[in-house]
Amino acid sequence: MVSRLSGRPGHGVHIHGLLQTPDYARALLSMRRPAYAAEEIERFITARVARKAIFERSPAPELSFVLDESTLRRPLGGKAVLRHQLEHLLEAGQRRIVELRVMPLEREEHAGADGGIEVLKFEDGSAVGRSPVVAYGRPVSDPRQLRILELRYGIVRAQALAPRESTAFIEQLLGDT
């Protein structure tokens, strides 16, 4: 089993790949400069969709995401793509294995403002993580560095809205879109 703690709370650019709809991913990848070839974009989207099989594993991993409000408001690909993406987030958040939290823009304290945090914990007790501020974004497995990442992610989670508040927040955004 894998537990994944994932935050892009300071990243503020896009929604995590495991939570993206194909249309959202296509819009995001199409904006890259230098541009990807159309075939590359479709290959990347196919790979992202395939990675979503993680939701169906048995035993299923525990997944936790902190989403920056700015990513939920940015209409990448247009309003229809954003509406579908928000609906998709609400569906994903209903899974027992998925925790979604929103970091509102109004928060004055934000422990993740300097970059995203990802930590994977495995059944055997090992783990790997990465963040732009730890080892320059390279994967780390050193227990001391992992503790720092987990501590930072815990603080970010505490600063974000609770899961129910986050769901209500996303529903409000969907209603406004």
**62 - beta bridge partners?**
3
- Please, which residues have CB within 8 angstroms of residue 84's CB and are 6 or more apart in sequence? 21, 23, 24
Quick one: pLDDT band at residue 9, thresholds 50, 70, 90? very low
Instruction: Give the pLDDT mean for 65-94.
Output: 96
Instruction: Give the pLDDT mean for 64-73.
Output: 94
Q: Is the pLDDT of residue 1 over 50?
A: no
pLDDT in tens, 93-114: 999 999 999 999 998 888 777 7
Give the pTM: 0.87
Q: Is the pLDDT of residue 55 over 80?
A: yes
Q: Check residue 124 and give its pLDDT.
A: 86
CB 109 within 8 A of CB 10: no
Q: Check residue 51 and give its pLDDT.
A: 92
- SS3 of residue 78 by DSSP: coil
CA distances from 90 to 6, 95, 104, 122, 136 (A): 17, 9, 17, 27, 33
pLDDT in tens, 119-146: 888 888 889 999 888 878 899 999 999 9
Q: Check residue 6 and give its pLDDT.
A: 52
User: What architecture is the 2-16+60-176 domain classified under in CATH?
Assistant: 2-Layer Sandwich (3.30)
Instruction: Give the pLDDT mean for 18-34.
Output: 96
Quick one: pLDDT band at residue 8, thresholds 50, 70, 90? very low
- SS3 of residue 56 by DSSP: helix
